[in-house]
Amino acid sequence: MTEADIRRFWRKVEKSDACWRWLGRPMTVGYGYFGRSEAGVKVDGYAHRMSWEIHYGSVPDGLCVLHRCDNRMCVNPAHLFLGTRTDNQADAAAKGRLPHGDRHWATKISEELIPVIMARLEAGETQVAVARDYGVSRQAVTNLVLRRRKSMKEAQG
């Protein structure tokens, strides 16, 4: 990273007592974008990673720069920490950012149908018949039943 890159970076940062807001453009995933050139080759990158590099040095291979504040446009180094991809997923899950239910790409059964399906099963219909009626596999219905039983046990203590 060059001194020119660092000067250009700071022109796009609005500091405050909390998050330092990235004023440059966001990437499609919502994080701040900062592009630079290394040895004549354009390098696309995240603004928060650049902030980490300015303040702490390079990011070790295999690690991600995560946000404590959960603000994707924040570049405050005090709000950043290193973690693995697994740490990143666990952090996102703990903050409720991972898609689940109807928002998950692999959802086969909508949230509205769950009580209907459970009522049919409790009334004695087979998983195979219910699965056929809703165009899903029997395993999808089995998974739903198992998750429901698990969540009920966890709720009971």
Structural domain count, the chain? 2
Give the whole-number percent of the chain exceeding pLDDT 90. Answer: 57
Indicate the range of 3-12, 31-40, 44-53 predicted with least confidence.
Answer: 31-40
Pairing of strands 64-67, 21-22: unpaired
Question: Do residues 61 and 77 both lie within one domain?
Answer: yes
104 — alpha (psi -120 to 50), left (phi > 0) or beta?
beta
> What confidence tens digit (pLDDT) does each residue in 129-156 have?
999 998 888 998 998 888 766 665 665 6
Domain endpoint, select from 44, 75, 94: 94
Question: Do residues 33 and 73 both lie within one domain?
Answer: yes
Domain endpoint, select from 46, 64, 94: 94
Q: How many residues does the chain have?
A: 157
Question: Do residues 83 and 113 both lie within one domain?
Answer: no
DSSP type of residue 22: E
Contact 75, 32 (CB under 8 A): yes
**Average pLDDT, integer, range 87-91:** 91
pLDDT given at position 2? 86
Contact 82, 59 (CB under 8 A): yes
Question: Do residues 77 and 151 both lie within one domain?
Answer: no
Residue 50 has pLDDT above 80, yes or no: yes
Question: Do residues 87 and 105 both lie within one domain?
Answer: no
Domain endpoint, select from 75, 94, 113: 94
70: domain range?
3-94
**Average pLDDT, integer, range 42-48:** 91
Mean pLDDT of the residues in the chain: 88
Contact 33, 25 (CB under 8 A): yes
